[in-house]
Each structure stands twice: as structure tokens, then as C-alpha cells.
Amino acid sequence: MKYQGDFFEDVLEVVKLIPRGRVTSYGAIAKYLGVARSSRMVGWALNKSLEKDLNIPAHRVVNRLGLLSGKMHFSSPTKMEEELRSEGIRVENNSVQNFNEVFWDPFSELP
DNA sequence: ACGTTGACCTATA
DNA sequence: GTATAGGCCAACG
């Protein structure tokens, strides 16, 4: 079986760099990796990362509207929301409040 | 090899 | 707000 090469690793690497109390979007990650049109693959990689028992803060990744679109893939549907709240992020009705302020842009935060 | 799937995005109605 | 459509592209069966 082929080991997960570039894509999988790169995605997880960026996600792991997301600071506590900040969030980012699938599209932003994809764009940063130079695969702007493969934003769906970012979510796929995260989903796989959960199965593989990797230490990935997947709860810090939401869609471009700040919606917790991936909450259903966690151990519990409420896990993602609680994790975000524990980091000081306001989450209400499935969406990140103050999204503009907590948004973490790889382009401006990484070299 | 081929068809389907998907934690997306944008557009339209 | 929901629905539908098109595009995108790696992985899976």
C-alpha cells in the first residue's frame, strides 16, 4: 500500500500549525498548498487523519462561512463545537461567531 | 480503467 | 433559508 505522500502530509502539517483560538478554512489551506481547486481533498485528508489517530486539531478547520460542516465526523457531533469553545472561540448555531477576527490566514501567518 | 463519493466553492433560482 | 447545478480532483470499490 502506497504511503500517503504529498497531499495528505501537507494538509495535516498546515492544520497542526493553526494557533490555539484561531480557525481557518478548507479553501485557504488548499490555496496555500497550491491546490486551490482541491479544497474538498482537504476535508478528506482531515477525515482520514481522525481514523489514523493522528494528533490533528481538525476542529480548527471550518468552511469559508465559518460553519462547522465537519462536526458530524467527530467522535460526537458536539465535540467540535465544545473544543472550539474551550479555546475561546464563540460558536453558536453551528457557526463560528466573530469569524473574521479568529480566522487564521496561512498566507499572512506563515513565511 | 471507470463510476461514485466527498468535512468545498460559486452561481443561480 | 433550501435546492439544484457545475466545477474541481484524489481516493475508493
Judge whether A62 and A25 are in contact, CB under 8 Å.
yes
A24 Rama sector, left if φ>0, alpha if ψ -120 to 50, beta otherwise: beta
The reported pTM is: 0.89
For residues A66-77, average pLDDT = 91
Residues 35-54 in A having a C-beta less than 7 A from any atom of strand C are 35, 37-41, 44, 48
Give the C-alpha separation, A104 to A109, whole Å: 7
Q: Is the CB of A27 under 7 A from strand B?
A: yes
Express each pLDDT in A14-55 by its tens digit: 999 999 999 999 999 999 988 888 889 999 999 988 888 889
Report how far residue A68's alpha carbon sits from residue A89's, in angstroms, rounded to the nearest whole number: 12
